[in-house]
Amino acid sequence: MSVAESLSALHQAAKSRVYIARLEILDQTPSLIKTRLYISPDLFVQVYRNDRYDTTNLVLLHAGQRIYARDQLGGVWHRHTAVTPHLHDTSDKGRRSVSLSEFLDEVETVLAAMGLP
């Protein structure tokens, strides 16, 4: 997922997912983007993509704490589960690459399990 693809997917998610209150672009260059999809003031998905280093970070944050994430570093993915968000899940399931849409589907499952909006 390149910066351009990420930006397109972010705008699509902000339009199609009713629980997303707003999209905020924090930083953007031709090879880097950092954004937030706000669900509420203290609950949001942060998306970071750097094409130069082939790095992607998809993170669900609540009250300043990571509660779920998927990261790609140098083309290799890992996951931070909702049960142990401080650990890297490098199982087959954890190493699976995901699109932004797939990540948001996972976020919806995590939020429902935690009773968050």
Query: CA–CA separation, 72 vs 63, rounded Å?
Result: 24
So where are the chain's domains? Answer: 3-114
CA dist 91 and 113 (Å) reads 22
Q: Hey, how many other C-beta atoms are within 10 angstroms of the C-beta on 54?
A: 13
Residue with tokens 């707003």: 22
User: Which helix (H) or strand (E) segment is 113 a member of?
Assistant: helix 100-114
From first to last of its 117 residues, what are the pLDDT tens digits of the chain? 899 999 999 999 999 999 999 999 999 999 999 999 999 999 999 999 999 999 999 999 999 999 999 999 988 999 999 999 999 999 999 999 999 999 999 999 999 999 998
Residue 75: the pLDDT is 87
Q: Are 82 and 64 in contact (CB under 8 A)?
A: no
Contact 23, 10 (CB under 8 A): yes
